[in-house]
Amino acid sequence: MLTKDENDLLTLVEGDAPMGRMLRENFWMPAMLAAPLEADGAPIRVRLLGEDFVAFRATDGRVGFLDEACPHRGTSLALARNEDCALRCIFHGWKIDVSGQVVEIPTEAGEAAVERAAQVKVNHYPAREAGGLIWVWLGKSAPGPFPDLGFCHVPLSQVSAAVTKVPYNWVGSIEATVDSAHIGFLHRDWLKNLPTLGGASMENTAPTYEFEDRPYGYRAAALRRLGDGTTHVRINEFVMPFHSSPGGSGDTQSSYQISVPVDNETTNFFFVRWNTAGPVNTGNLAPAGADLNNWVPLPGTRENNWGQDREAMTRGSFSGFDTFGILTEDTVVQASIGPIADRTREQLSASDMCVVRTRRLLIKAARDFMAGERPLGATGEVPYPHIRGATGVLTPGQKWQDELRMEAA
């Protein structure tokens, strides 16, 4: 368990919170899906680390990312006109381009307007479009290395990106993505359709863990020894500070789960699946036809147990959520913990080794930042394109470190 001070350091991101400052000054973060941004279309509100922004696509296709408040009187730029490669505030007509430059103040005349425009400070942020997402650098310093993960290197036709806003803290969201032990219980209704992973996870519900420390985080191998003498291995890659690539998607198909803090109690949970060989199969992750901008909405509230079907449980459903999708099961159990988990009350076990390791890495990163040091993963030494989870079955004598490597060194 953690102390209250440790839990606060780990979870809180708003204002001057050290963790939020560490994230802001060291890492690019996904802000939204790219598809909703249309050239000259409506600006879209984005909230990250407890602050409000707007994103827009200019006439020429470039993406702008600004504070939501107009620098003149604070009117929301989500109301602005998007035209001629700039946003024009509807209150007094101030016009701001993609670079954050005020290019027109029509309520002042002559040279005074030009001089005043040159003096106005507009908070704008470097934005980049990659892998179906809009990424932003919120730090005051020059942008660091871009996390060009594997899905940024295949055609968009081979990528499926979705996001949902969940009502709990970002660390709880990460913890769900790195935990392999829950698979054999929470998801067992779905595992019946996955012979290798499903059979292993239900035959041996108590995996042991082995780790490799990496310059970006760690590789965690969940080992399940089976009755025929083989060992099933599921490798999860945790990439600082909020990326997780779990094994189990297939030889050419991989996934990333990214938990980006909206504020202290809300998270944008991105799920990206890509296939290096062809079309993506999203499987039973969410109901057919789901909105990619609200991909896994909670099916209820605490008052009705989030829509859990107890009658279905009497008929054989384990979780009572098997009609909604695998990720709904994950989001429901995390929502049930509350907006910010009280980690001073937990009673952890050997199944929580990934959770413990992740917390330690994040806390250390915040402390390193406060000490003036670069946190783990904030350098150009990370082989982002080649990091992906993996699964496999080992015969006696084989080692997962030798058999299940990254795509390239």
pLDDT at 407: 44
Long-range contacts of 345-354 (CB under 8 A, 24+ apart): 345/1, 346/1, 346/2, 347/1, 348/1, 350/208, 350/209, 351/179, 351/181, 351/206, 351/207, 352/179, 352/181, 353/209, 353/211, 353/220, 354/178, 354/179, 354/180, 354/209, 354/220, 354/236, 354/238
pLDDT tens per residue across span 300-351: 999 999 999 999 999 999 999 988 888 899 999 999 999 999 999 999 999 9
Share of the chain above pLDDT 70, in %: 95
Indicate if 150-403 has the same CATH topology as 35-130.
no
Beta bridge partners of 96: 87, 102
Helices (H), 133-259: 170-178, 183-186, 188-191, 195-203
What is the pLDDT, as a whole number, of residue 124?
A: 93
pLDDT at 409: 28
DSSP state of 154: S
* Structure-token pair, residue 141: 């310093």
**Domain-wise residue ranges, the chain:** 35-130, 150-403
End-to-end CA distance of the chain: 36
Cα–Cα dist 64/54, whole Å:
8
Write the CA distances from 250 to 210, 273, 330, 404, integer angstroms: 21, 11, 21, 13
Pick the closest to residue 131 from 307, 275, 300 (CA basis): 275
pLDDT score, position 316: 93
The mean pLDDT of 105-121, rounded to a whole number, is 87
pLDDT tens per residue across span 120-163: 889 999 999 999 999 999 999 999 999 999 999 999 999 999 99
- In the prediction, which pLDDT does 128 show? 97
- One-letter amino acid identity for 196? T
Q: Which CATH superfamily is domain 35-130 in?
A: Rieske [2Fe-2S] iron-sulphur domain (2.102.10.10)
Q: Look-up: residue for tokens 């005074």?
A: 112
**Helix residue ranges per DSSP H, 218-352:** 310-314, 326-337
CATH code at 150-403: 3.90.380
Q: Are 270 and 161 spatial neighbours (Cβ–Cβ below 8 Å)?
A: yes
Burial of 319 (0-12, 13-18, 19+ CB in 10 A): buried
Q: Is it the case that residue 408 has pLDDT exceeding 50?
A: no
Global pTM value: 0.94
Token digits for 119?
């003096």
Q: Does the N-terminal peptide bond of residue 241 adopt cis geometry, omega within 30 degrees of 0?
A: yes
Tally the residues of the chain.
409
pLDDT score at 185 = 87
Sign of CA dihedral 321, 324, 325, 326: negative
Between 196 and 282, name the one with better pLDDT: 282
274: which strand partners? 159, 254
**pLDDT (tens digit, 9 = 90+) per residue, 160-199?**
999 999 999 999 999 999 998 998 889 888 877 665 565 7
Instruction: Give the span between the Cα atoms of 47 and 369, in whole angstroms.
Output: 23
Q: Rounded CA gap, 23 and 241, in Å?
A: 8
Write down the mean pLDDT value for the chain: 92
Q: At residue 173, what are phi and psi to the nearest 5 degrees?
A: -65, -45
CB 178 within 8 A of CB 256: no
CA gap 380, 111 in Å, rounded:
45
- pLDDT tens digit sequence for 349-395: 999 999 999 999 999 999 999 999 999 999 888 999 999 999 889 99
Stretch among 49-53, 146-150, 307-311, 401-405 having the lowest mean pLDDT: 401-405
Q: How far apart are CA 177 and CA 376, in angstroms?
A: 19
Residue with tokens 């499903």: 198
Give the pLDDT confidence score for residue 248 in this predicted structure.
Answer: 66
